[in-house]
Structure 1
Amino acid sequence: MCLLPTFMATVSFEVRSNSENANIYVRVSIDRKNVYRRKSGYLINPKNWSPKTKQPIQRDESLKRLKSNLDKFKIRLTDIINNALETNVHITGHWIQEQIDLIHGKVQPKALDVLVNYFDEYIRKLPLKATTIGSDNKSSAAITKYKTIKQKIIDFQDHTGKTFLVKDVGVDFRDKFVSYLKDIDKLGLNTIGRYIRFLKTVCRDAKINGIETHFQLDAVKGFTKKAEKIILTFDEIESIQGVDLQREALINARDWLIIGCYIGQRVSDLLTLTNENLVSRNGLHFIELIQKKTGKIVEIPIHPVVEEILEKKEGNFPYKISAQRFNEYIKDVGRIAGLTSQIKGGKFDKETKRKNNGVYQKWELITSHVCRRSFATNFYGDYPTPLLMQVTGHSTEKQFLEYIGKPELNHAQQLAEFWAKEARFAKKKTHLKIVKTAK
């Protein structure tokens, strides 16, 4: 049985001018809120147009041919739009104009020099680019990311009334696109900077495949606005451990938070841990998982603090909780634990769906991301960076250092600092218990 789309487009014609050669406009109605008018590509003398039938008056052969052409055009455009509705295509006035141009043969379908078309080609090839174990998850996340950016370009095209080619992506395009994303779409600067980097990646791929690009493409650069790195220090973690909580939901969230600060995983991996992730070899205990984002296999020695929580729960992880609830509850935990120092940061506004930058009490800025960053920051310098990277899943030392907000040092300086910290380490209480490598 054929399923009909939820909405069916209505297509009709209008003449909106009294000039001798007036444009015949096509009126496309998706629903009451979405009605678009675009030039159909046909002209007529208004004296030969019937507003009642919305068709040419059949006075001679040329008007009969015009009516026939309009009928064929209407059938074809209606089919295109309804097929798009069936597949959840985002329909805009600009998109409709593109379909009209295709019907009249003004542009070639899916020409790869068209920017959004090359995005489709790049997205199609993404699964072939992922070569690591678990690459299905990696490519799926990347596909979602690039589809989002493609949609932003479509919205930008609709805003400007232009169809952009790959070769249009130069400094001027970059500046106007950034202004649109910041002033019209109200995106944060770090998000915009990432989008520009990904856009450049797609254009460079197009260049490799023989598509003409702008001579300024290399000058199109993304950017990062340095933000406050929110972490929990060891002292703050101890305060959270010792605070008296009455609600079971907050106790449960507190246990997940502490575990997270000692295993350094993203919330998507942290909150899905079960007993199946606990492994033992030669009397040593580990948490083993495959990171959803990177597909990397990670093995983490169970820290004594984590072991204590598991023992309290008879060998089980805390009970399941959604990332949304986790983010809500750990703020309450931080508030009760007295994390009230004033720091700069961005606080999410539920009404605007945007972050508002300002100065807030620390508990207000705690999110699930604090777990992974606290682990990386707290143990950095006390243990070799490659060891920490194996846990966090960072691919390069540069990425890791940027993540924790540390400058990239030369190897001699790093070694000197490591030896100095190793000497201090021998004089203080050990925070991280190292277990010997399993055979």
Structure 2
Amino acid sequence: MATVKFILQSAKDNAPIYARFKDARIIDVKRKTRETINPDQWNPKTGKPKNIQSADKTTLKHIEDVKKNLIKIESFILEQYRKRNETEIINGIWLDEILTAYYSGGRRLEQLDYLDNYLAYYITDVLPFRKNRGKRITDATTKKQITVINKINDFLKSQNQRLKVSDWDVSVSNKFEMFLEGQGIAKGTIGRYIKYPKTIINHAKTLNIEVNKNIDEIKGYTTETPTIFITEKELQEIQKITFLEPQLQTAKDWLIIGFYTGQRASDLLTMTPKMFTNIDGNIFINLHQQKTKNGVLIPLHDEVKKIIDKRNGQFPPVFSDNIESAKTIFNKHLRTIAKKAEINRLEFGKKYDDETKRFIYGQYPLHEIISSHVCRRSFATHNYIKVPTPIIMAVTGHKTEKEFLNYIGKDFNDQSKEILQYWKTAQQQPEPETSTQTKTAN
């Protein structure tokens, strides 16, 4: 029969009380509890505090608290022993874990049933080692998951009850979505955010933590994505203008380089001559994209070469050493130079509203909504149909044709229409003269 007895091993004041756990002659282990008592107030025969009647109020209260706690500890140890599984090794380490669990609200696995505890564990013990298709997830994906976890924790603090991992279902996800909307987060971003908890929480199954059986019914969503680009003719209108302000001239040069290299601003604004590589007498830009870690090889277009030559073999200067600040400044200058070039055609896009503190989607003059991302999208759109799609994707870094077509606002039906238009145009061209002389094949 399993028993718990409490003992002292010190004669000093505030001696720690040890729990001794026994089961017949098989198990006999002891570990220190967090309770303390003066040995003069302890009965070693009963393993309990003495029934002292005369002492100051503080001492009497302390003795009474120790008595109550020891009863609870004994009950907790015996309960955990009864609930043990076949794989548990009952030894001093086990007893130490049980005592720690008593003071911290439950054994570790039981604590991880609560969503806030599980998320903390996920960040420290799971996320740094997560893989996708055999490869460690990227830093960008890690940051996204941490951002979403922080949002979930903010949401949990707003609730009137503590949620368990198993509570996260469609209903809770809908509440989380409304919480995000209340924070002024863009609808498209919310659509991505609500699918991440499913990925994070589903991992709890590997720890034998209960997960809601309906969690897979939670679906993310996308919103209509603006496909803003500038045409080659519009770029030429910008090229005609000589800007007296050096930073505007610099922004114009970066726009031209971006138009013919098709890279995100985070890669565009970090280009250096060290990336040049000569292959069979032709110059290419060899870089690894920051977001995807993909290596891309970009041929040096004549318009880009003109800028490099004009700047004595160098790329234009960046606007700031901080890439995010550089992008912000670049965006501001792009809107200025596009306005001066009268790029006014209406496009579907988003503008930030200072009053509502959120982006408002609608039709705006292009110069009001142009940003650095116009470089990559313009490259993809400008070269679509003219250049085989896989070749464009090799530069932009898209993985699938479906992803690429969605990026430029096309679908497979559009592709078929483009081919038809190409054929019609070709049919309108005069056929080359052919010889009427008949040849005989031997």
TM over 0.5: yes
Q: How does 1:65-76 map to 2 (within 5 A)?
A: 65=63
Query: Cα RMSD (Å) of the superposition?
Result: 3.1
- In the alignment, the residues of structure 2 paired with residue 66 and residue 362 of structure 1 have an alpha-carbon distance, to the nearest angstrom, of 77
Aligned to 2:160: 161
Hey, what does 2:146 align to over in structure 1? 147
- Say whether 1:344 aligns with 2:348: yes
CA distance in 2, matches of 1:131, 1:301: 32
CA distance in 1, matches of 2:396, 2:377: 9
Alpha carbons of 1:213 and 1:346: their partners in 2 closer, same or farther (altered >3 Å)?
same
Give the unaligned 5+ runs of structure 1: 1-57, 70-100, 429-439
Question: What SS class does the counterpart of residue 367 from structure 1 fall into?
Answer: coil
**Number of equivalences:** 332
8 Å contact kept, 1:382–1:425: no
Equivalent position amino acid for 1:346 in 2: K
Contact 1:382 1:421 in 2 (8 A): no
Q: In structure 1, which of residues 167, 181, 200 is the aligned counterpart of residue 198 of structure 2?
A: 200
Listed as ranges, the gaps of 5+ residues in structure 2 are 1-55, 68-99, 320-325, 430-442
**Structure 1 pair 387–332 and aligned structure 2 pair: CA distance change class (3 A):** same
- Three-state SS of the structure 2 residue aligned to 1:287 is strand
Letter of the 2:282 counterpart? L
The corresponding residue for 1:369 is: 373
1:219 aligns with 2:220: no
Alignment partner, residue 44 of structure 1: none
Tell me the equivalent position of 1:312. Answer: 310
Partner SS, residue 154 of structure 1:
helix
Aligned twin of 1:287 = 285
Shift of 1:355: 1.9
Give the drift of 1:174: 1.2
Q: Is the partner of 2:284 in helix, strand or coil?
A: strand
Between 313-322 and 161-170, the greater mean CA deviation after superposition: 161-170
Letter in 1 for 2:358: R
Query: Hey, what's the Cα distance between the residues in 2 that align with 1:188 and 1:281?
Result: 45
Following TM superposition, by how much is the alpha carbon of 1:418 offset from its aligned partner in structure 2, in angstroms?
4.2
Q: Which amino acid aligns with 1:373?
A: R
Whether the aligned pair in 1 keeps the contact of 2:228 and 2:348 (CA below 8 Å) is: no
Specify whether residues 307 and 155 from structure 1 end up closer, same or farther in structure 2 by C-alpha distance, changes over 3 A only: same
Displacement after TM superposition at 1:211 (Å): 3.7
Q: Where does residue 403 of structure 1 map in the other structure?
A: 407
Residues 59 and 386 of structure 1: is their aligned pair in 2 closer, same or farther, counting only changes over 3 Å?
Answer: same
User: Which runs of structure 2 are paired with 1:67-106 in the superposition (5 Å)?
Assistant: 104-106=103-105
Change (3 A) 1:414 1:363: closer
Kindly indicate whether the alpha-carbon contact (under 8 Å) linking 2:113 and 2:166 is maintained by their aligned counterparts in 1.
yes
Secondary structure at the counterpart of residue 240 of structure 1: helix
> Equivalent residue for 1:381?
385
Contact conserved, 1:382 with 1:418, CA < 8 A, in 2? no
1:345 and 1:278 mapped to 2: Cα distance?
Answer: 35
Structure 1 residue 344: Cα displacement? 3.2
- Superposed displacement of residue 109, structure 1: 4.4
The one-letter amino acid of 1:421's match is: Y
Q: Percent identity?
A: 35
Contact 1:330 1:366 in 2 (8 A): yes
Aligned mates of 1:235, 1:194 — CA distance in 2: 36
Question: How far did 1:423 drift?
Answer: 7.3
Q: Given residue 157 of structure 1, which amino acid in structure 2 is its aligned partner? A: L
Q: Take 1:168 and 1:293, find their aligned partners in 2: how far apart are those partners?
A: 34
The higher radius of gyration belongs to 2
Q: Deviations over 1:112-169 (max 9, x none)?
A: 444442442442223x54866xx7xx62222211111110011001001333333222
Match runs of 1:6-405 below 5 Å: 59=57, 61-65=59-63, 104-109=103-108, 111-116=111-116, 117-118=118-119, 119-120=122-123, 121-126=125-130, 128-129=131-132, 139-183=138-182, 185-207=183-205, 210-321=208-319, 322-349=326-353, 354-405=358-409
The alpha carbon displacement at 1:309 in A equals 1.8
Using the TM superposition, give the Cα deviation of residue 68 of structure 1 relative to its aligned residue in structure 2, in angstroms.
9.0
Structure-2 change in CA distance of 1:316 and 1:141 (3 Å): same
Bigger RCO (CA 8 Å, 6+ sep): 1
Give distance in 2, aligned partners of 1:264 and 1:385: 13
Partner Cα distance (1:154, 1:201) in 2:
16
What's the secondary structure of 2:138's corresponding residue? helix
Encode CA deviations 1:223-253: one digit per residue, 9 max, x unaligned: 1111322111222111111123221110101
Q: Which amino acid aligns with 1:366?
A: I
Q: Contact conserved, 1:252 with 1:319, CA < 8 A, in 2?
A: yes
Deviation string, structure 1 residues 200-221 (Cα, Å, up to 9, x no partner)? 2223333466443222222100
- Alpha-carbon shift at residue 349 of structure 1 (Å): 4.5
**Contact 1:382/1:422 (<8 A) preserved:** no
Q: Secondary structure of the equivalent of 1:223?
A: coil
Deviation for aligned residue 1:178 = 0.3
Give the superposition deviation at 1:366: 0.8
Q: Are 2:416 and 1:421 aligned?
A: no
C-alpha change, 1:415 and 1:229, in structure 2 (3 Å) is closer
Q: Secondary structure of 1:280's match?
A: strand
**1:292 Cα deviation (Å)?**
1.0
Q: C-alpha offsets along residues 260-304 of structure 1, whole Å, 9 cap, x if unaligned?
A: 111111111100101101111211111110111111110011122
Give me the whole-angstrom Cα distance separating, in 2, the residues matched to 1:207 and 1:425: 59
Tell me the amino acid that sits aligned with residue 349 of structure 2: G
